Amino acid sequence: MRRLSLIGTLLAIALAGGAHAGDWPTRPISLVVAFPPGGFADITARPLAQPLGRLLGQAVVVENRGGAGGAVGNALVARARPDGYTLLMALSSIAVIPEAERLAGRPVPYEMAQFAPIALIAAEPNVILVRPEAPWRDIGALIADAKARPGRISFSSSGVNGVIHLAVEVMAHAAGVRFLHIPYQGGGPSMNALLAGEVDFTSQSPSVARPHVLAGKARALVTTGSERAASFPDVPTLKEQGIDTEYVFWAGLFAPAGTPPEVLARLRAAAREAVEDAAFANAMAAMGTPVRYLDGPPFEDFVAAETTRLGDVVRRIGKLE
């Protein structure tokens, strides 16, 4: 009797779990952005949250949990209950942080195996920006000055190991120079640091950079992609300027590993439809951000490949500070 009772209990638990997944969602969903407002992850998450919530039948609430170049918010979601109510809008730095922390001999805040990839939403290169009065008219002049004054020219970033930090380190490594890194608590604050004259230059997504360039508050020197950015057609790439490297970063949706497959399937279906929403498409177009959608096994393979590729980049460059 005891054995039959145990079997009955386990069966009831299994059936309850299936019913829970089938009923999902019954309350608002938290979409964590691991950076303060104003950065690429944030301005991608906010216009996506509305159509995503409408399609799922529950509000999707964006929560900014910045710190440590995204590690704080990423780790929060990695440890969250895998019930579909806590999601993450991550940048490509999510795949960099574990290996970078290992290399530096610091505790690893999470592992990539703790996440379930849902969908790639957007991808774009970085833009190297200076203030209008800066003496460097092109990236060649900035690199030449950095060679003459190693470690003296400062740049702001969203934090150690973040997408901005890595973009500049990739460029510096290829050019054989060293800059002074000044980390901030997100892309928005790092952009403000340039505008306030706290640093000499910064690296931002085109969507963050474009309004400031159009307003005459910043000047673009170079972009880091394999081809010119659509929103900066007159700005050359690193390779066009003789620096043989490129760097493109992305924003994607993740859930904690162990989230029920039925919930992940609904999230993918909703994300696929949400990126087709007119309001979302218009918001991304206004920022000059190209939508790059991918989900299912292709996105899982993409994340695995990026984890390997970016880990190799970090190991090649060495310890980042």
CATH number, domain containing residue 81: 3.40.190.150
pLDDT of residue 207: 84
Question: What three-state secondary structure class fits 85?
Answer: coil
Is 18 a member of any domain?
no
Q: Do the Cβ atoms of 254 and 73 come closer than 8 Å?
A: no
188-197 CB contacts, 8 Å cutoff, 24+ apart: 188/35, 188/36, 188/37, 188/38, 188/39, 188/42, 189/36, 189/38, 189/156, 189/158, 190/156, 190/157, 190/158, 190/164, 191/38, 191/156, 193/156, 194/129, 194/130, 194/131, 194/156, 194/218, 195/131, 197/131
254 in the same domain as 222 = no
43 in the same domain as 108 = yes
Q: Which CATH number characterizes residue 223's domain? A: 3.40.190.10
Q: Do the Cβ atoms of 181 and 69 come closer than 8 Å?
A: no
**What is the residue range of 91's domain?**
27-123+249-317
Point out the domain boundary residue: 188, 216, 241: 241
Distance CA 253, CA 199 (A): 32
The three-point CA angle 151-156-160 to 5° equals 85
pLDDT of residue 57: 97
User: CB 217: neighbour CB atoms within 10 A?
Assistant: 14
Q: Do the Cβ atoms of 105 and 114 come closer than 8 Å?
A: no
Point out the domain boundary residue: 241, 263, 286: 241
Distance CA 219, CA 83 (A): 45
Residue type, 129: L
What is the greatest pairwise CA distance in the chain?
84
Distance CA 78, CA 16 (A): 24
Q: Please, what are the averages of pLDDT over each run of 10 residues along the chain (321 residues)?
A: 46 44 90 90 95 98 91 97 98 92 92 98 94 97 98 92 87 94 89 97 91 97 92 95 92 98 98 97 87 95 91 76 59
Q: What is the DSSP letter of 290?
A: P
Is 6 a member of any domain?
no
Is 21 a member of any domain?
no
Distance CA 177, CA 148 (A): 9
Is 5 a member of any domain?
no
Distance CA 101, CA 96 (A): 9
232 in the same domain as 132 = yes
How many separate domains does the chain show?
2
Point out the domain boundary residue: 186, 206, 241: 241
The three-point CA angle 260-264-265 to 5° equals 115
Q: What is the mean pLDDT of the chain?
A: 90
pLDDT of residue 319: 61
Is 157 a member of any domain?
yes
**pLDDT digit string (tens) for 109-126?**
999 999 999 999 999 899
Is 17 a member of any domain?
no
* Six token digits for residue 63: 């929560």
